[in-house]
Amino acid sequence: MKNKFLPVCQEDLQERGWDQLDFLFVSGDAYVDHPSFGPAIIGRLLEKQGYRVGIIAQPDWRSTSDFTKMGRPRLGVLVSAGNLDSMLNKFTAAKKSRSTDSYSPGGQSGLRPERATLVYCSRIRELWKKTPLIIGGIEASLRRFAHYDYWSNTVRRSILIDSMADLLIYGMGEKQILQIAGKLAAGSKISDIRDVRGTCWLSASQDFNGDCVEVPSYQEVSLSKETFASAVKLQYLEQDPIRGKCIVQKHSANYLVQNPPAEPLTSDEMDEIYELPYQRTWHPMYDAAGGVPAIQEVKFSLVSHRGCFGACSFCAIVSHQGRIIQNRSHSSLVKEAETISHLPDFKGYIHDVGGPTANFRHLSCNRQKKQGACKNRQCLFPAPCKNLNTDHTDYLSLLRKIRALPGIKKVFIRSGLRYDYLMAGNNEEFLAELCQNHVSGQLKIAPEHVSSTVLDLMGKSGKEVYLRFAKAFQHATQKCGKEQYLVPYFMSSHPGAGLKEAVELAEFIRDLNYYPQQVQDFIPTPGSLSTCMYYTGINPMTGKKVYVARDLHAKQLQRALLQYRNPANYQFVYEALKEAGRMDLIGYGPKCLIRPPKPDKSTNNYKQKNNNNKKPRRISPARDKKSR
């Protein structure tokens, strides 16, 4: 068989001698056969179990013709909007259309619809009303409950109801899809599959299995922001595979039922997933368009683990991958590094070894094995837990093995080092080797803010931790004789951040003598605590009120303050400082952010002032005599 990609057309089926697919996967992303792309993972995993799988990537949703090109599948249709929520993929924080889409061939925008999961499902239901329809991916996962939608500024129903799908897979879906596929292949009806962990389903009655937590209904959270916040808190606290309970939320006559999260993958299971026969590139049908840009960030990178016990409020990882770390073995990662080193365009550089965070390689503490992540306590915030395992030995050992491989010149770390975790333990040896071997001139980290008000709401450590790390990093860099720099990322307009907090951050940036090229405006995406704060003005975990900058101009002022050196931002910075009562920062002193505005030469005041300042004109005696 010449074509080693998963089938994408009828010709591919004929080449394999197949008359019908078992599963059809419809994706909002272009088809890239790489383990950083969901359709590739799920497709390859099903393929290994003997199922016939085909992929329809970015179909034309304006008709049903693209959806039928490989026929009706025997067991079911799987739908994902792609690696990003389709609304986030299309719109910026200012709700403007993005000009490019890195998950589409040639970076072309407009190849997927808004709310792609709903649109694709609508077309599939037009074609095959009784074929099992299963939705998953980040869009479905984070919209599984009644949720706030930033782009319409409304509370929307669960995506399971609006999509008319039979099942919703939330989180990373490998275990779920294998169980569902096995049951369907054995003859079970999709309506009878109700016991798979990591899935959501609909019930017309209150007859639920097991001990469930019922949260306020869609109707209730739509009418009251306080009720919305309380529902989010209940949902958040149960997102744990060890201690989490079933969650129920009523939607009109039906009940949305979320089974507890899927059990964590073992290292062997993770290894199996990442060692499937991926082609590690885009499908050849995109060659003419120049390929799919998104692969450039991951092609020479290694995913070492999943999950994050950092649990930042603005991040949806807790709702999607959870707080329990699931890691791959050293041997599997070394094997993948060797595979990468033989790719024809490999230049000797592994771009990253990490996951949602770089240096979380193991459980945060031993109690998680049996009791799960703590329900009412975070591992790193407000201070590192006394039970936190801060040992970096395993990660350091892994990096040493990979960089020792033939053909590998450098192994970089780019996936976001948690410096607060690093500084919480005795990790001088790791920091020394990090600076010596794993920084490409710049190390990107994310303090996000410096205001204690904002950081408390973010669930992030204080600025003093960043300053301690910056000092330690500089010392370690100088000791190894290199010139390397930290590149801190900051976020504007997060809940809790007003002009006062934005000015505080701008002053911090000034004192660092740093000019941020990129500043991320907070975007309220579904599934995070910060999004709940944005919509309700309430911290769901405490019930306390939170200031929120919702006006686009107010957000523009905050963003401009963080890039106050940009001449294009001058008027916004001046307005922000004036409104904040910080005119002391306008002037010529070393602590000033901007200089005073230049006088407007077109005004009468300016002309009168300058006329008054002019010296009397001297007239020569000859001219004076002539004039007389």
**Mean pLDDT calculated for residue range 219-233:** 98
Q: What DSSP string describes 320-333?
A: HT-SS-EE--HHHH
DSSP alpha helix (H) spans, 96-200: 116-127, 137-142, 159-163, 174-185
Neighbouring CB atoms inside 10 A of 132's CB total: 22
Q: What is the pLDDT of residue 450?
A: 97
Specify the range with the lowest mean pLDDT, choosing from 317-321, 387-391, 495-499, 516-520: 516-520
CA dist., res. 386 & res. 520, Å (int): 33
User: Which of the pair, 497 or 602, is modelled with greater confidence?
Assistant: 497
Position 77 scores a pLDDT of 98
Reduced DSSP (H G I as helix, E B as strand, rest coil) percent helix, strand, coil of the chain, to 5: 40, 15, 45
Helix (H) / strand (E) element for 371: namely: helix 368-371
Residues 12-65: tens digit of each pLDDT: 999 999 999 999 999 999 999 999 999 999 999 999 999 999 999 999 999 999
Q: What is the DSSP string of 239-303?
A: --TTTPPEEEEEETTEEEEEPPPPPPPPHHHHHHHHTS----EE-GGGGGGT--GGGGGTTTEEE
State the Cα–Cα distance between residues 229 and 532, nearest whole angstrom. 6
Confidence check: pLDDT of 617 > 60? no
The model's pLDDT over 269-300, given as tens digits with 9 standing for 90+, comes to 999 999 999 999 999 999 999 999 999 999 99
Q: Which two tokens stand for residue 61?
A: 């949703």
Q: Which residue type occupies 486?
A: L
pLDDT at residue 43, as a whole number: 98
pLDDT for the residue numbered 626: 39
pLDDT tens across 327-384, in order?
Answer: 999 999 999 999 999 999 999 999 999 999 999 999 999 999 899 999 989 999 999 9
Confidence of residue 602 (pLDDT cuts 50, 70, 90): low
Closest by CA position to 303, among listed 336, 343, 345: 336
Question: How do residues 482-521 score in pLDDT, each as one tens digit?
Answer: 999 999 999 999 999 999 999 999 999 999 999 998 889 9
Mean of all residue pLDDT scores within the chain:
93
Reply yes or no on whether the pLDDT at 623 is more than 80: no
Q: Does the pLDDT of residue 606 top 90, yes or no?
A: no
- The residues, any chain, with a CB within 8 Å of residue 244's CB and separated by 6 or more, are 238, 260, 261, 372
210 neighbors 226 (Cβ within 8 angstroms) = no
Q: What is the arithmetic mean of pLDDT over 515-537? A: 94
Q: Mind listing the pLDDT tens digit for each residue in 142-196?
A: 999 999 999 999 999 999 999 999 999 999 999 999 999 999 999 999 999 999 9
Q: Cα 224 to chain center, whole Å?
A: 28
Global pTM value: 0.92
Percent of the chain predicted with pLDDT > 70: 95
Residue 398, pLDDT above cutoff 90: yes
- pLDDT for res 616: 45
Per-residue confidence (pLDDT) for residue 1, from 0 to 100? 54
From start to end of 317-440, where are the E strands? 326-327, 349-350, 352-354, 410-411
Predicted pLDDT at 608: 52
pLDDT digits (tens, 9 = 90+) for 52-95: 999 999 999 999 999 999 999 999 999 999 999 999 999 999 99
Q: What is the pLDDT of residues 418-459, one digit of tens each?
A: 999 999 999 999 999 999 999 989 999 999 999 999 999 999
Quick check: 444 and 487 in contact, CB under 8 A? yes
Q: How far apart are CA 163 and CA 166, in angstroms?
A: 9
d(CA 106, CA 90): 16
pLDDT score of 125 more than 50: yes
Domains of the chain: 10-195 (3.40.50.2300), 300-440 (3.30.750.210), 441-458+470-610 (3.30.750.200)
* pLDDT at 611 exceeding the cut of 70: no
**In the predicted model, is pLDDT for residue 601 greater than 50?**
yes
Q: Is residue 625 very low, low, confident or very high in pLDDT (cuts 50, 70, 90)?
A: very low
